[in-house]
Structure 1
Amino acid sequence: MSRSIDYGKLMHQAMRGLIQRVLVGVQDNGLPGMHHFFITFDTKHPDARLADWLKERYPSEMTVVMQHWFDNLEVTNDGFSVTLNFGDAPENLYIPYDAIKTFVDPSVEFGLRFETPDDDEPSGDDPDEDDDITDGIDVPEGERTDAEVVSLDSFRK
């Protein structure tokens, strides 16, 4: 059993669940009103699928726009696939929720940003990791960071 509650991981799961619910609504009913999405994702994620020419052009991350034209949106528990138009070249993409770095709907000034720990730092998932207790809160070594509170009002005009 873990010696601490991983609030960051739980928050990311909740935010990714929100994205999934929004995309299911779009899959079922289309985009309502002026809503549209800018989705930035990690093109190196092992489960992300995109054309080789897109991987070459965007070797680390890519931002896609779901607005006027998209097709074949299929939402699953792990991610979603969608066909988007790249200069009159339709391409199918599969984007796992874990690969998403930002999700923004500028029509209502809503945005989510996912912070990821460096790969060489401990994840906190290994029960044998050395943990330190700081101010009564168990924080795994390497996961101590300065907290930043982001107000949703910062996305409003």
Structure 2
Amino acid sequence: MADDHDNTPENGAFPPESQLPYEQWLDEAYRGVMLSALEYVSREGLAGEHHFYLTFRTDLPGVVIPDRLRAQYPHEMTIVLQHQFWDLAVDRAAGKVSVGLSFGGVGSILVIPVAAFTGFADPSIHLSLHFTASDAAAAAAAATETAPAAPAEDDAGGSAESDPSSQVVSLDAFRKKGPSPA
């Protein structure tokens, strides 16, 4: 007996509109997975080949990064947590993640609201999660957005890529030999 409600893409139809907020629930669940991983690493450290790529909107309220990085990445930035980072902390109650990283030999503490994250990946196990920035935070950023700064020379000596809105900051160029700054 044929199913009249078969809305698979193979049949040329799309799933019906849901009255339940499944996308929101999935987004919240995936963010929870990211936060659990960050909490674990803040207590236990990174094991084996695990490392994280964290992508976040730099133009949303509450994001605290050095001004020169905001100028270089006016919309979105990806950081890598692998060898040298410090003071990784997750504050679920405040909805923030903070971490210390060194950029061009200068230590900085970044503070990123959970709502600003757009991606989390652990390439060692081929895990990649994508989120949408909070609608309220995105609307606030759009209302206050100004013309982006011109791409600047990065501290490694090369020029920023042509699309500064979504770039990976490679920390290899910024790593010092020896212990992590405190």
TM-based fold match above 0.5: yes
Give the Cα separation in 2 of the matches to 1:89 and 1:108.
Answer: 31
**1:83 aligned partner:** 100
Q: Which has more radius of gyration?
A: 2
2:114 matched to 1:97?
Answer: yes
Give the Cα separation in 2 of the matches to 1:74 and 1:10.
Answer: 24
Pick closer, same or farther for the CA change 1:91–1:53 going to 2, 3 Å.
same
CA displacement at 1:116 relative to structure 2: 5.2
Give the Cα separation in 1 of the matches to 2:133 and 2:106.
Answer: 32
Quick one: percent identity of the two aligned structures? 38
Tell me, which stretches of 5 or more residues in structure 1 are unaligned?
Answer: 121-157
**2:24 aligned partner:** 9
2:50 matched to 1:35?
Answer: yes
TM-score, normalised to structure 1's length? 0.70
CA displacement at 1:79 relative to structure 2: 2.2
Q: Select 1:70's aligned residue among 85, 101, 104.
A: 85
Q: Is the 8 A contact 2:56 2:76 kept in 1?
A: yes
Give the Cα separation in 2 of the matches to 1:58 and 1:113.
Answer: 19
SS of 1:107's partner is: helix
Map Cα deviations across residues 35-78 of structure 1 (whole Å, 9 max, x no partner): 00111100011121111111111100101000000001111111
TM-score, normalised to structure 2's length? 0.61
Q: Is the 8 A contact 2:116 2:134 kept in 1?
A: no
Give the Cα separation in 2 of the matches to 1:66 and 1:11.
Answer: 24
Q: How many corresponding residue pairs?
A: 118
SS of 2:50's partner is: coil
**CA RMSD, aligned part only?**
1.9
SS of 1:38's partner is: strand
2:75 matched to 1:60?
Answer: yes
Of Structure 1 and Structure 2, which has the larger fraction of its residues in strand? 1
Tell me, which stretches of 5 or more residues in structure 2 are unaligned?
Answer: 1-17, 140-182
